[in-house]
Structure 1
Amino acid sequence: MNVDVTVYLVAIPIVHQICVKVVGVPLNGLVVWVLGWRGRRHLVFRIYVLNLAVADLVLLMRTPIMLGYVAYNYSWPFGRVFCHLIMFLRGLGLYASAFLLCAVALERCLCLLRPMWAAVHRPSWAVPLACGIMWLLASILSAPYLHSAVLKEVNGTHQCIESGEFNMGLFVTETIAGFILPLLVFLGSNLAVLLTTHQAVPLTPTSTPLTARRMTRMYHVLFFTMLLFLTFWVPYFVCRFLRALAEQRHVRGALYSRARLGTYISLFLVYTKSALNPVMYVFAARGLSRAIKASLVSTIERLFNDDSMESIRRKPNETVVCYLNFTNLHYPKI
């Protein structure tokens, strides 16, 4: 193996995995600590972001194992048990993130279209119960990966891979539940919010500076959210689809090789997204320069302050105010 190949196949992935672990685990752990243990009141947006951070940590738990796999020159040294575990964690993290992403998008619509019910009449146990159901469903859908993961010897190396037999049921379930439905719900909900808000509060020359600034900010946040979702999330499932298509047709040519490589690279994008989500929470809440000057703990605590939700409870009929407060409190995960 020449030097250039070693750099591309070993050194760069190792550096990436180390950076993702060093950055992602402490930041997501800090979000969990601030919102889970230091938070005094468990508001809707705290609960969602807390669960999103936990889902990111589940995905990032794979990085030390993958680091060992790459360091051993792409040979699996951890045995069969960890092979099953890492496949399960991948499915659990991806499913949980997708379901929570749908929940956040639907929460936006609910806050906009039914602000009184969302702020006043909704039972306090509804959102925690919904999050628990989503985690349970993600665990059930990820369970088949415990069975499909196998440890095989390929060209003198041990590989932790999915079973060589193509499982149409598992593939269809993953594609629909993990990709198509979340994609439709996420994009549809955000577009509905944009259209409804634009009709309710159109930007005109007579708009107050505060309203114009808030509306412009909302448009930027929603556009940036959808852009990052398409950039970091879609490539992985597209490559998985192409790889499964090649396997079903028993074509082990250029399509299969490129799809397999694309799946591997796009999974690194998913790890990067999980590591940087807390940074996006902070920068979405405040200006970049002020976010850099402030401490991370105090920034997160101010980001999820309770003042805006109190104003929602006092004025539940102000639909757009409800939504704008929501965007100030929470920047959803991509």
Structure 2
Amino acid sequence: TLQSLPVEWCQSLLIISGKNYGFISCPLESKCRLFSCYLKVGVPLNGLVVWALGLRSRRHLVSFRVYVLNLALADLVLLLRIPLMLGYLIHNNSWPFGRAFCHLIVFLRGLGLYASAFLLCAVALERCLCLLRPVWARLRRPSWAVPLACGLLWVLAAILSAPYLHLAELMEKNKKYQCVETGTFNMGLFVTETIAGFILPLLVFLGSNLVVLLTFKQAVPQTPTTSTPSNARRMTRMYHVLFSTMLIFLTCWVPYFVCRFLLALAYKTPGVSFSASALKGKYISLYLVYIKSALNPILYVKTQNILNKPLSHFMPSNQPQCTFVLILQLSGTLLEGEFFQNKISHLVF
């Protein structure tokens, strides 16, 4: 029976490490169903985003859509690891794809995680930029600036993920091949991943979104007039969308890196009792990352429906719909009262 797999097999499935930290529950049938669900839902949805933005309307991409396109690509990088994982499970928990694909699956994990974190931060910074410098962001910024920024972020993610190509190794254990990370614990690599892949993106993401939320809050009149209640409701919907993105980021990323930190602590202090729990937590938290990657396109559509439709009647008929309406700051104060007038900056990002 394969109702409970040894921890080394679960570790190799997740590409965590080659160390034995104990046993965790790892039912084969449930894992196959989960991975198949992620694959069937996530790949078509993200592929549809790439097709719609990258192929169908590539001549009309604005900055926000460029970021969404790249986020969908980053999610696809993570989700395309799933067929290899399913192959490992179906092949009686033995790695059947050879050494090259073993190196590839480890590299794709790092690339997808880094790229997603960097691009989410870029979207958050884009919101702040369009809010604080709307004229420059909309009219004066070169059209190639955002695609170039995305390209540089992908290059940086690839550079930071390159060391994992060296760490991946195909090992034979109990007549089965396991794709694992070999070698001793690398403190430098762990610190780099934690700071560059988690702490800095977390600070940038939360700080940028808080700036946007506070600015929107100041823009909504405290005492609505006959023409402003609907505007206040629209701003409230904006709060909900931004809060949802922050909540998803925290829910899907914080547990993963916290468990990695606990595993590193367990490695440095042998004999601690929480190592098995930390390994199980990291195992579960990685599923949250896959859920985020699979369902991100739904959040994109929800954002478009919430923010686009209620604001569309403010847009001239010859302009494209916008995702956010940003209020210009005049003489250091936000417009009050009848603030949806001609002094509004309609910006797409």
TM-score of Structure 1 vs Structure 2, range by shorter chain:
0.7 to 0.9
Q: Give 5+ residue unaligned stretches, structure 1.
A: 291-304
Aligned AA (2:255): P
How has the CA–CA distance of structure 1 residues 105 and 310 changed in structure 2, closer, same or farther, with 3 Å as cutoff?
closer
Matches within 5 A, 1:162-241: 162-206=181-225, 208-241=228-261
**2:322 aligned to which of 308, 314, 332:** 308
Sequence identity of aligned pairs in percent? 63
Aligned AA (2:79): L
Q: CA deviation at 1:4?
A: 7.8
Q: Where does structure 1 differ by over 4 angstroms across 4 or more consecutive aligned residues?
A: 2-8, 309-312, 315-326
Matches within 5 A, 1:252-263: 254-263=273-282
The corresponding residue for 1:37 is 55
* RMSD across aligned positions (CA): 2.9
**1:143 aligned to which of 151, 157, 162:** 162
Q: CA deviation at 1:138?
A: 0.4
Whether the 8 Å CA contact 1:148–1:162 is kept in 2: the answer is yes
How has the CA–CA distance of structure 1 residues 146 and 323 changed in structure 2, closer, same or farther, with 3 Å as cutoff?
farther
How has the CA–CA distance of structure 1 residues 275 and 192 changed in structure 2, closer, same or farther, with 3 Å as cutoff?
same
How has the CA–CA distance of structure 1 residues 90 and 5 changed in structure 2, closer, same or farther, with 3 Å as cutoff?
closer
The TM-score with structure 2 as length reference comes to 0.80
What per-residue deviation string (whole Å, max 9, x for no partner) do you get for residues 22-54 of structure 1? 111111111001101111312101110000000
**1:18 aligned to which of 6, 21, 36:** 36
Q: Distance in 1 between matches of 2:106 and 2:298?
A: 27
Higher helix share: 1
How has the CA–CA distance of structure 1 residues 158 and 71 changed in structure 2, closer, same or farther, with 3 Å as cutoff?
same
Whether the 8 Å CA contact 1:116–1:317 is kept in 2: the answer is no
Higher Cα radius of gyration: 2
SS of the residue 1:159 aligns to = strand
Whether the 8 Å CA contact 1:232–1:266 is kept in 2: the answer is yes
- State the structure with bigger RCO (CA 8 A, min sep 6), 1 or 2: 1
Aligned AA (1:35): L
The TM-score with structure 1 as length reference comes to 0.84
Q: Distance in 1 between matches of 2:40 and 2:113?
A: 21
Equivalent pairs counted in the alignment come to 309
What per-residue deviation string (whole Å, max 9, x for no partner) do you get for residues 70-103 of structure 1? 2234332222111110000000000000100110
The corresponding residue for 1:66 is 85
Q: Distance in 2 between matches of 1:248 and 1:4?
A: 28
Q: Distance in 2 between matches of 1:55 and 1:18?
A: 19
